[in-house]
Chains A and B, each alone.
Chain A
């Protein structure tokens, strides 16, 4: 153990025998660690933003449907408006907000074009509590009441239909009795900043939709928010108990893509960590091998003086541990300097449109997760040090007789 104390100062001083090389290696490690940790934080922020955008726009954190609706989302699978235990639970502490909806496939027709859409009958006041879409009106206004004789559609859909705010469109769908239902409505508002799939939703008042479809007091779905994410599963179970005959699903089941993106975000970070680490490892091993070959005679001398080969390995590994350790700390420092100023929100500015197209928000909220950052930094440090076992073994295998050679 006493011999190890000998190695510390020796290792540290050896690092600075070639300051330029040491600084370059430090920079490689620091930039690598910075990129790994910053990527992790930013990617998680984007994933979270993407998820929240997706859920807050329409899905909600969970939904309730009549059995069979998810497989065949038509007017035939309707359920009664909530009452009794279900209504009590929806208005209780397990649910932060909920909104009843009618949701059926439909055809919308303008003077010039016809498109397939999804018709949603909503209660505007309730909808504002579970959905951000009412706040994304670009022209006109959102629905004022659930019996309003007007329709809200996406701006892009309006362009495809070659129509505009104030013009009338015809909505056709199958009514509950199997006949074709048709209603003409003026466009009262155009929303935007949504994905192409979300652009195919059209909104009318809930009572208006029920009347058109012949759904007297019946609904297609109830969207709800459970509040804090950790409580979602509990809320879903509570609702399932309150409405045993209905399907109660969380967003993970309803939006498998969003769920998959969240699941795989950790894998992406892992892959990025691995790629960056391989690049760093190549640099570290190359540098340490060069350092060992430059000091061949010195390692022979150390053995000639009585230093055991294992201690030579320890010395080279310790030099690497110090070098990579300082690099990792510098990388963590850089990451903190990059991330901390934006914890109150990073406005993507010119990149916002791209982020929104990819399902993210225009403002990201990077959150530092110390456990993850420490784990990633430790992984880089430990694996980086492990890679230097190769140059260290090379140093230990240098025959002590080289100490006899002329310089």
Chain B
């Protein structure tokens, strides 16, 4: 399989006053198209930092990152925004929905940014909301949805433009067990159905159990990278 994400010698150091705090130390990583992979490790291991660098949300101190063969380090903010819009869907730890938009409008938001026609937007938004089990709740605003429902809307939004990559940062962190299990199963099934590559930063064992590839990080380095048969696979 070809690598849809490539990291070579990626380092990230944060400055806290006069002190430099290394978050990543020369990470090399290839993620293949269609992977359902987890980045796990203790707090401060660098998994969220690596995810943000791959998503072009931040810039590495050193190293190269390519997404679908396009080098993203050094791209202008507007170019990075375009790349995220076209290729990457995000699911964040907190629900991260736009509070003044309904569930359907939140999903449609990225499709509008992409300039899709109104009819296509609406149909696609309703389709993905139905796929994540939110049919009938399209007109509700985030404040009228539960935490699990909001995270499902975030997943639907991430998948709506059919991105090549979905990056999720601790997506189950604020969910109860049952809701978390449902979300994990949902993402795994969407991965299987859409073929989108899922890279999930998590320390939730239930999420890791569903992964076909389990990458462990400690102190800014990859310490294990295993391919396994996932739960239900």
Contacts and interface: CB of A to CB of B under 8 A. Distances in A.
Nearest to B81: A308
B99 A404 contact: no
B110 interface: yes
Contact of A2 (B86, B90, B112): B112
Nearest to B85: A306
Contact of B58 (A13, A301, A308, A399): A399
B94 A308 contact: no
Contact of A304 (B57, B93, B100, B115): B57
A302 B77 CA distance: 13
B169 interface: yes
A118 to B, nearest CB: 73
A301 B48 CA distance: 15
A351 interface: no
Contacts of A297: 96
Q: Is the interface of A mostly helix, strand, loop or mixed?
A: helix
A24 interface: no
Interface in B69-95: 77-78, 80-82, 84-86, 90, 92-94
Interface string A300-315: 1111111111100000
Contacts of B228: none
B113 A301 contact: no
A404 B100 contact: no
B96 A6 contact: no
Contacts of A309: 77-78, 81
A3 interface: yes
Contacts of A302: 98
Contacts of A3: 112-113, 115
Contacts of A406: 93-94
Nearest to B86: A306
A308 B112 CA distance: 13
Nearest to A298: B98
The size bracket of the interface on B is: 20 to 34
Interface in B54-76: 55-58
B115 A401 contact: no
Interface string B96-123: 1011110000000110111100000000
B13 interface: no
B84 A305 contact: yes
A6 B121 CA distance: 12
A404 B51 contact: yes
B179 interface: no
Given A10-B101, A17-B100, A308-B78, A399 B84 contact: no
Interface string B124-135: 000000000000
Contacts of B191: none
B100 A401 contact: no
B52 interface: yes
A303 B96 CA distance: 12
Contacts of A404: 48, 51-52, 57, 92-93, 169
A400 interface: yes
A6 B113 contact: yes
Given A3-B115, A6-B109, A10-B100, A399 B85 contact: no
B160 to A, nearest CB: 11
Contacts of B57: 300, 303-304, 399-401, 403-404
Interface in A67-91: none
A309 B84 CA distance: 13
B113 A305 contact: yes
Contact of A306 (B84, B92, B96, B169): B84
Contact of A305 (B85, B93, B94, B99): B85
Nearest to B201: A404
Nearest to A400: B57
Contacts of B113: 3, 6, 305-307
B82 A308 contact: yes
A17 to B, nearest CB: 6
A163 interface: no
B112 to A, nearest CB: 4
Nearest to A3: B113
A310 B78 contact: yes
Given A305-B84, A399-B57, A6 B112 contact: yes
B112 A304 contact: no
A303 B81 contact: yes
A407 interface: yes
Contact of A403 (B86, B90, B114): B90
Interface in A392-407: 399-401, 403-404, 406-407
Interface in A94-150: none
Most chain B C-beta atoms within 10 Å of own C-beta, residue among A297, A306, A307, A400? A306
A265 interface: no
A407 B90 contact: no
Nearest to B90: A304
Contact of A14 (B48, B84, B100): B100
Interface of A: 2-3, 5-6, 10, 13-14, 17, 297-298, 300-310, 399-401, 403-404, 406-407
* A-B pairs, 5 with minimum CB distance: A306-B85, A13-B100, A401-B58, A407-B94, A401-B57
8 contacts: A2-B115, A6-B109, A304-B92, A305-B110, A306-B85, A308-B78, A309-B81, A407-B94
Given A400-B57, A401-B57, A403-B57, 14 more contacts: A2-B112, A3-B112, A10-B98, A13-B101, A305-B113, A306-B81, A306-B82, A306-B84, A309-B78, A399-B57, A400-B80, A403-B90, A404-B169, A406-B93
Interface of B: 48, 51-52, 55-58, 77-78, 80-82, 84-86, 90, 92-94, 96, 98-101, 109-110, 112-115, 157, 169
